[in-house]
Amino acid sequence: MTISNTRPITPELIAAHGLKPDEYQRILDLIGREPTFTELGIFSAMWNEHCSYKSSKKWLRTLPTKGDVVIQGPGENAGVVDIGDGDCVVFKMESHNHPSYIEPYQGAATGVGGILRDVFTMGARPIAAMNALRFGEPDHPKTRHLVAGVVSGVGGYGNSFGVPTVGGEVNFDARYNGNILVNAFAAGLAKTDGIFLSEAKGVGLPVVYLGAKTGRDGVGGATMASAEFDDSIEEKRPTVQVGDPFTEKCLLEACLELMASGAVIAIQDMGAAGLTCSAVEMGAKGDLGIELDLDRVPVREERMSAYEMMLSESQERMLMVLRPEKERQAEAIFTKWGLDFAIVGKTTDDLRFRILHQGEEVANLPIKELGDQAPEYDRPWVEPAKPAALAESDVPQADIADSLLTMLGGPDLSSRRWVWEQYDTMIQGNSLQRPGGDAGVVRVDGHDSKALAFSSDVTPRYCEADPYEGGKQAVAECWRNLTATGALPLAATDNLNFGNPERPEIMGQFVHAIKGIGEACRELNFPIVSGNVSLYNETNGQGILPTPTIGGVGLLGDWRKMVRIGFAAEGEPILLVGAAQNWGTHLGQSIYLRDVHGRTDGPPPPVDLAHEKRVGDHVRALIASGIVTACHDLSDGGLAVGLAEMAMASGIGAAIDTPSADPIPAFFGEDQGRYLLTLSIRPDSAEWEALRAEQQKLGVAAALIGTTGGAELKLGQAHAISVEKLVTTHESWFPRFMGT
Amino acid sequence: MKSAVVLLPGLNRDRDMIAALTRISGQPPVTVWESDTAIPDVDLIVIPGGFSYGDYLRCGAIAARMPALRAVAEKAAQGVMVIGVCNGFQILVEAGLLPGALMRNTSLKFVCREVKLEVANANTAFTRNYRPGQIIRCPVAHHDGNYFADAETLARLEGNGQVVFRYAEGTNPNGSINDIAGIVNDKGNVLGMMPHPENLIEAAHGGTDGRALFESALGIAA
């Protein structure tokens, strides 16, 4: 049955479209009449939180988005950063949280598909992907099902499309029980003079529809993603889209061929709110009107209404403004790849968004106002309460070796091999570092020494305890992970996942996290060039942990100088760089307190950004000098876990000195700005003396804490653990949990 | 020696394969599109990995019925060497150029990791630069690599030395019968294998164990 365009607009219908009464009044004021049913759908798609950023815009504007290497900041499909020699890297991270909870395989798959499309719409060939996944507690009845579905969906799409997944995160916490997070990152490589944007230019030019046909899947998806969940969630399954990676791979090749032919004036992928959002964006950015004739839209279902076509989120589709003289050449490229190519409209000079269907005008709206006049809110927020510091005497004791094994064999620190072996990590033949290290590293195709490093980071429990410090820490850890490979961090993308912004305490978390992120990005010269905000991540009033995921990109001038986390040889000195005299001090919010003592109290470790930068720049310079044989940053679990990870990655053990103070904070404290390095120079050499003198001059603390070698890890006075035992413990949790 | 790479919609290791052949032979391979009915004069034809036609219907089934595959079959009948890697192997099986079938991995999951391969027959045009019984490293990345053949076919393959690569040291990633990772046809000019030697041919890949396969096929001395 076709839904009529003359359906009466009732308060119930308005509410069902996620529009508040004052927002509806704004529509009436704007157009001076009652909207048609199709128009109501269009407003709902453009003005929901997901598309309009109405709660977050005010705060997003405070983020640093410019820098020497930034070619394109936020506002396009993805950010663009110069990497020299006429090449640039194009990247973004985006959430697909709500769909993935409702239908994990398709939700995750289309999340990957959407972010890949964002990247290749700009003219870039995707070269790397990452995924930051947060699930509920392992014992929750839905968790296994969600893990299995999401992981196979990520792999199912990315593997078939042909992009290596080189990094990511997987965490578990009860606060995600009813609302998991699936944040997908993609990066592509383009020529700086071959970037394509969405701004339409020229009046009377053809608007072309490319890719897959339009169906009823995903109608209203963006509006769904802007609402909280409750127990009626099963009814929302039809709003999840279905992905077809084969079509996307063909679309990639066809688009890149088309772009090379010179036929493209402007191009925009159809993501959230499909045809509506893409058309409005192209027109509004170019100060042009757009007229669409829906009878020409390729459809795969019969009797679709204008409303359904305008709100469909069918995947693998693009909209383009074409140079008319290239029409036949363009069509031939799409025919070759078996894809639809249809002229569905034209650009106009009247700044109207006009939709024709079966000879009738079903919508006629002011195109600029649809985007620009979306409501914007300065939502009230409250200062988050700061947790009290742990008393100095409050250092709960436990056996060091046993605690290390407990942590390494637990849900959060155990190996993620079960996950990433389902992802193709080496396709394209350029992967230099695959998952399991500090960052994924991929060679730059066509260049003999350059490589790009990628890392995705956030510590949600820190953000929950102190959103400001947690925001800083997410950026700092990402910057540190890139640095630990030897890469110079260039820029980042942010994927801000929070609860309901209409609650002042949630808005307080958001505001403070953004402040922390902004400050860290400024201090570390690490601008935010793209991103996505996902709010309303709550179920039945319980919000998720605040989770502002940071995806960072770094550049290695010469990948032959890159280092990895595994100990490289026996008998090498181990240097702890950036630590206080007692190696580690901060136990608040540590994995040790949580996993060994069941405590989640205290403030997170503070990040001293000047220190972070000083230490990181020094480590990077040391790696470039060629004397560093392995490097690993310290994060969750502190020094003990860092050492264990270096040993497990190579099979070589280490003997570590006895710390001068209490070994518990020394080995398990999560103080920030620290790195473990092994060096090819000997502690009694002249080079060593020179290094120590330089570190003193720079004000970078560094302690010689032990030596690599043997088949055991011995932490001070604790009993030695064989590397084999570490590996078995580390590798067994995930397969056991998943039952395979 | 000259080579060609078959391109089909959905294949995605074509660029890896073209890069490997170019690097090893010093000249880029010619490419053959799905609708091409003839293949230029070359000594080696390679069908790379990926998900041709989305692996819809059955892995390799649609590809096997394309004009380009009929052209490959003609060339194979003339004695031209053919290599199918991963999806390429599945396509050769579906096209009837190699016996057996490739079923879903026993784990029912996609698997991407490095395995060990034993060179079970070093006396083929594809493996002569390896030592008999040599154990090499090689990556795999597939969802449907579980090789199966009936008892009679299997006995013939084993008896004729048509099993060229076997998963070694307990690294069989997919449940393949007799640990079979790669086979040749009875004439010895068509090789199908699930692992990806093209992803282990230079220092940046962390090893060069895959190189000797292409050097053998391209007649380059080790």
A406-446 pLDDT tens trace: 999 999 999 999 999 999 999 999 999 999 999 999 999 98
The reported pTM is: 0.96
Report CA-CA distances (Å) from A405 to A670, A713, A719, A730: 17, 12, 12, 8
Amino acid A509: pLDDT: 98
Q: Are A101 and A107 in contact (CB under 8 A)?
A: yes
- Tell me chain B's radius of gyration from C-alpha atoms: 16
Give me the catalytic one of B34, B94, B118, B198: B198
Is A250 touching B (CB cutoff 8 A)? Answer: yes
* DSSP annotation string for A561-589: G---SS--STT-EEEEES--TTS----TT
Burial class (CB in 10 A: 0-12, 13-18, 19+), A472: buried
Among the partner residues B15, B16, B51, nearest to A160 by beta-carbon distance: B51
Distance (Å, rounded) from C-alpha A92 to C-alpha A87?
A: 17
The predicted model gives A224-235 an average pLDDT of 59
With an 8 Å Cβ cutoff, are B13 and A559 in contact?
A: no
User: Under DSSP, is residue A546 helix (H, G, I), strand (E, B) or coil?
Assistant: coil
Among the partner residues B12, B107, B112, nearest to A423 by beta-carbon distance: B112
With an 8 Å Cβ cutoff, are B51 and A740 in contact?
A: no
B 3-22 residues with CB below 8 A of A?
9-10, 12-13, 15-16, 19-20
With an 8 Å Cβ cutoff, are B10 and A249 in contact?
A: yes
Is A170 touching B (CB cutoff 8 A)? Answer: no
Helix axis angle for A21-31 and A37-47, nearest 10°, is 120
Amino acid A241: pLDDT: 81
Share of chain A above pLDDT 70, in %: 97
The predicted model gives A118-134 an average pLDDT of 97
With an 8 Å Cβ cutoff, are A250 and B111 in contact?
A: no
Residue of A nearest to B142 (CA): A424
With an 8 Å Cβ cutoff, are A250 and B113 in contact?
A: no
Is B31 touching A (CB cutoff 8 A)? Answer: no
Measure A176 CA to nearest chain B CA, in Å: 25
- pLDDT above 50 (res A505): yes
Amino acid A1: pLDDT: 40
Q: What is the mean pLDDT of each run of 10 residues along chain B (222 residues)?
A: 96 97 96 96 98 96 97 98 98 98 97 98 97 98 98 98 98 98 98 98 95 95 70
Amino acid A8: pLDDT: 86
With an 8 Å Cβ cutoff, are A250 and B196 in contact?
A: no
A391 band by pLDDT with thresholds 50, 70 and 90: very high
Is B144 touching A (CB cutoff 8 A)? Answer: no
Question: Which residue, among A423, A424, A738, would best test binding to B if mutated, counting the most B CBs under 10 Å from its CB?
Answer: A424
Give me the catalytic one of B34, B59, B86, B118: B86
Residue-averaged pLDDT of chain A: 94
Amino acid A42: pLDDT: 93
Residues of chain B contacting A424 with CB distance shorter than 8 Å: 110, 112, 141
Residue of B nearest to A448 (CA): B204
> Could you tell me how many residues make up chain B?
222
Distance (Å, rounded) from C-alpha A283 to C-alpha A370?
A: 11
Q: Where does A389-478 show beta strands of DSSP type E?
A: 431-433, 440-443, 451-457
The predicted model gives A271-289 an average pLDDT of 91
Residue of A nearest to B107 (CA): A740
Is B53 touching A (CB cutoff 8 A)? Answer: yes
Distance (Å, rounded) from C-alpha A13 to C-alpha A11?
A: 5
Question: Which residue, among A159, A417, A419, would best test binding to B if mutated, counting the most B CBs under 10 Å from its CB?
Answer: A159
Residues of chain B contacting A245 with CB distance shorter than 8 Å: 51, 54
Question: Which residue, among A144, A160, A419, would best test binding to B if mutated, counting the most B CBs under 10 Å from its CB?
Answer: A160
- pLDDT above 80 (res A235): no
User: At which residue do the structure tokens 């009845």 appear?
Assistant: A141
Distance (Å, rounded) from C-alpha A64 to C-alpha A525?
A: 9
Least trusted range by pLDDT, from A148-152, A224-228, A392-396, B35-39: A224-228
**Rounded (5°) CA angle B93-B98-B102:** 40
With an 8 Å Cβ cutoff, are A429 and B110 in contact?
A: no
What is the DSSP secondary structure assignment for residue A426, as one 8-state letter? S
Rounded to an integer, what is the distance from CA A325 to the centroid of its chain? 39
Amino acid A210: pLDDT: 94
A218 band by pLDDT with thresholds 50, 70 and 90: confident
Amino acid A220: pLDDT: 67
A118 band by pLDDT with thresholds 50, 70 and 90: very high
Distance (Å, rounded) from C-alpha B7 to C-alpha A298?
A: 27
A580 band by pLDDT with thresholds 50, 70 and 90: confident
User: pLDDT, tens digit, for every residue of B175-188?
Assistant: 999 999 999 999 99
Distance (Å, rounded) from C-alpha A94 to C-alpha A274?
A: 16
Is A314 touching B (CB cutoff 8 A)? Answer: no
Residue of A nearest to B12 (CA): A162
Residues of chain A contacting B196 with CB distance shorter than 8 Å: 426
Among the partner residues A162, A244, A425, nearest to B50 by beta-carbon distance: A162
How many inter-chain contacts (A to B, CB under 8 Å) are there?
Answer: 78
A128 band by pLDDT with thresholds 50, 70 and 90: very high
Residues of chain A contacting B51 with CB distance shorter than 8 Å: 159-160, 245-246, 249
Residues of chain A contacting B55 with CB distance shorter than 8 Å: 160, 246
Is A421 touching B (CB cutoff 8 A)? Answer: yes
* DSSP annotation string for B42-93: -SEEEE--B-GGGG-SSTTTTGGGSHHHHHHHHHHHTT-EEEEETHHHHHHH
C-alpha neighbours within 13 Å on the C-beta side of residue A316: 25
Measure A684 CA to nearest chain B CA, in Å: 33
Question: Which residue, among B8, B12, B107, would best test binding to A if mutated, counting the most A CBs under 10 Å from its CB?
Answer: B12
Distance (Å, rounded) from C-alpha A241 to C-alpha A148?
A: 19
Measure B16 CA to nearest chain A CA, in Å: 5
Question: Which residue, among A112, A316, A426, A556, would best test binding to B if mutated, counting the most B CBs under 10 Å from its CB?
Answer: A426
Is A443 touching B (CB cutoff 8 A)? Answer: yes
Report CA-CA distances (Å) from A199 to A122, A209, A335, A347: 12, 16, 26, 11
Is B166 touching A (CB cutoff 8 A)? Answer: no
Residues of chain A contacting B90 with CB distance shorter than 8 Å: none
Catalytic residues of A: 50, 96
Among the partner residues B10, B54, B141, nearest to A426 by beta-carbon distance: B141
